[in-house]
Amino acid sequence: MAYPANYRYTNQHEWVDAKGDVATIGITDYAQHELGDVVFVELPKPGTKIAAGKSFGTVESVKAVSDIYAPVSGEVVEANGDLHNTPEKINSDPHGAAWLIKVKLASTAELNSLMDAAAYEAFVATKGKEASA
Amino acid sequence: MEAANSPTLSEVRKTPLNALHRRLGAKMVNFGGWDMPVEYPATGGLVAEHKAVRGGVGLFDVSHMGDIRVHSGRTPGGALAAVQHISMNDASQLAIGQAHYSAMLYPQGTFVDDVIVHRLGEDDFLLVINAGTRQKDIDWVRQNTKEFDCVVEELSDDYTQLAIQGPRAAEVLQKLTDTDLGRIKNYWFTHGTVCGLKNILIARTGYTGEDGFEIYVPSDQATSEQVWAKVMEAGREFGIIPCGLGARNTLRLEAKMALYEHEISDTINVWEAGLDRYCKMEKGDFIGRAALERARSALKRTLVGLEMVERGIARDGYCCCNAAGEAIGVVTSGSPSPTLGKNIALAYVPPAMSAIGTPVYVEIRNQKAKAQVVPTPFYKRARKAAPQAVASSTAKTL
């Protein structure tokens, strides 16, 4: 699955799609693949403040619980309620329909420290090599 | 997202099929010191593997399991006496060719390990033990059988152990052997030719709650890979897929089969674990018996099945509370159940809270989510009706 060129990425495998001062956040295709079948998602309510690098929710597969870390700081304006009943969308459309939250950014400058698609692809390629070594 | 800790590969052991798992693109984990496949994403992953075993057939590499043979020394009878001394079930009741679930206990009645005891001959036994406890177990067996006239051999590295599990398992394996598998009952075994290899141990055993077989083939990589490939080929028409430890865990949890360091451990005794029916107090003395005799009337906790009522998944180690919010127990294993479509768990709670329907609150990330005690096993396979059973049910309707 291709990594959208207009998104920014973290080394914890989250993506950010910023439009003005509102950013949509999700987890990457690499992340969903590592997790396996996603069965449960726990997301913050609108109004919740999140801080870059801190956990803001969890995604659970059959076998494991994983924290999701905020790529940027801000205030949650919307959580993807569809995932409540269809968490498996994270496996099938992680970069699109299975977005997790929308956030009003505290500072757009934080985006500059994140990877672009090419850098992230190179990053996960090294992960793949480690795994098969 | 935070990835699971990846093991340092130099420290972990590998089965003869390790290279094959990696070629298949399996996700690997460190399980009890072994580099093992947890799931095979290319063929559908954990849930698909679980469903293949419940509805068709799946193939597992379980070569990490250990094997200890205890057989006669100078005079016959020493091996049986030794096995009786170190295990809680009654091995004298086994026929040659029969196996049973048992456990080795510490003097305090807690678990060294659980074990499948196979009676190979009149005074010849094969103990199949867990991977993570292999060295501890072999040391324990050697130490505690010294006073008996028997020979203890560790055969763990001699075998590649494959588990072919599911309602279609017999049809798959039957294509590869001239042994009539229909004559091997559940928890019995025989030796036969499999894939042209002579004298292969074929046991109708498993850890999935489903019908199935475990076969023990020579452990060289070429033979192991050949047998794996032939089983996959024979199973193709039934949709066989390779299955990893992830599905093995969800399958055994649904069937309420114990996992060492979870439902059983060196601090949990036989009564607490609810394994009474595999513990034969009347067979004579054995290690742990005296302590169990004393512990019988003082049960402080008992293993129960839980089903989540509220949203959330109970996981291993999570705290259980009563309605007042007081900690009363702990989850030993918890997971979504792919067969039932519910979130299930096994937990230790006080006997007073073990009745079916009792509410129990599981602490999940600082929030208490309601669960209730439910009957176990969570899943029980439908057995083919025996002729007698059919006759009696017919009689009722008449």
**Domains assigned to chain B:** 17-267 (3.30.1360.120), 300-374 (2.40.30.110)
Amino acid identity, residue B270?
A: V
Closest residue of chain B to A65, computed from CA coordinates: B315
Residue partners of B62: CB distance under 8 A and separation at least 6: B161, B162, B163, B207, B214, B248
**Residue A75 within any structural domain of the chain:** yes
Over range B286-314, report the average pLDDT. Answer: 96
Residue A66 to chain B, least CA–CA distance (Å): 6
Token digits for B314? 């109970």
Residue A103 pairs with which residues in a beta bridge?
A: A23, A76
Stretch A82-97: mean pLDDT? 96
pLDDT in tens, B108-140: 999 999 999 999 999 999 999 999 999 999 999
Question: What is the SS3 assignment for B149?
Answer: coil
pLDDT at position B3, please? Answer: 43
Chain A residues with CB inside 8 Å of B39's CB? 36, 63
User: Percentage of residues in chain A with pLDDT exceeding 70?
Assistant: 95
- Closest-CA distance, A118 to chain B, in angstroms, reads 19
B63 near B15, Cβ under 8 Å?
A: yes
Whole-number mean pLDDT of chain B?
94
**Residue A133 to residue B336, Cβ atoms within 8 A:** no
Bond from prior residue into B377 cis (ω within 30 degrees of 0): yes
Residue B202 pLDDT greater than 80, yes or no: yes
Residues A28-37, mean pLDDT to the nearest whole number = 94
**B315 with A65: Cβ contact below 8 A:** yes
Per-residue confidence at A126, pLDDT binned at 50, 70, 90? confident
Q: How far apart are CA B286 and CA B385, in angstroms?
A: 37
Residues 6+ apart with CB under 8 A from A133: B9
Of the partner residues B6, B22, B335, the one whose CB lies closest to the CB of residue A62: B335
Contact (CB<8Å) B250/A62:
yes
Could you say which of A28, A36, A40 has the minimum Cβ distance to residue B313? A40
Contact by Cβ (8 Å): A29, A1: yes
B392's CB contacts (< 8 A; 6+ apart) are none
Q: What is the arithmetic mean of pLDDT over A21-33?
A: 96
Confirm whether A3 is domain-assigned: no
pTM over 0.90: yes
Identity of the residue in B1, B41, B336 whose CB atom sits nearest the CB atom of A14: B1
Q: Is A59 inside a domain boundary?
A: yes
* Angle, vertex CA A80, rays to CA A75 and CA A85, nearest 5: 145
* Cα A15 to Cα A22: distance, rounded to the nearest angstrom: 14
User: What would the mean pLDDT of B354-376 be, rounded to a whole number?
Assistant: 97
Which of helix, strand or coil describes residue B317? coil
What pLDDT digit, counting tens, does each position of B45-101 carry?
A: 999 999 999 999 999 999 999 999 999 999 899 999 999 999 999 999 999 999 999
ipTM for the predicted complex comes to 0.87
Domain that includes residue A75, residue range: 8-132
Q: Which residue of B has its CA nearest to A40?
A: B312
Average pLDDT score over residue span A97-104: 98
Contacts of B5 in chain A (CB under 8 A): none
Instruction: Report the number of distinct structural domains present in chain A.
Output: 1
pLDDT digits (tens, 9 = 90+) for B203-213: 999 999 999 99
Task: Dig out the tokens for B359 from the structure.
Answer: 């509410």
The residues of A whose Cβ lies within 8 A of any Cβ of B are 12-14, 27-28, 31, 33-37, 39-40, 42, 58-69, 130-133
- Report d(CA B61, CA B199) in Å as an integer: 20
Give the chain A residue whose CA is nearest to the CA of B27.
A34
Mean pLDDT of A30-39: 94
- Minimum Cα–Cα distance from A32: chain B residue: B1
User: For residue A16, what is the domain's CATH number?
Assistant: 2.40.50.100
Quick check: is A2 in a domain? no
* Cα atoms in the Cβ-side hemisphere of radius 13 Å centred on B294: 7
Mean pLDDT of B307-330: 97
Measured between beta carbons, the chain A residues lying within 8 angstroms of B6 are 130-131
Contacts with B315 from chain A: Cβ below 8 Å: 65
- Structure letter (DSSP) for residue B131: S
- Does residue A91 fall inside a structural domain? yes
Across the interface, of A27, A42, A131, the residue whose CB is closest to B1 is: A27
* Shortest Cα distance, chain A CAs vs residue B45, angstroms: 7
H or E stretch at A51? none
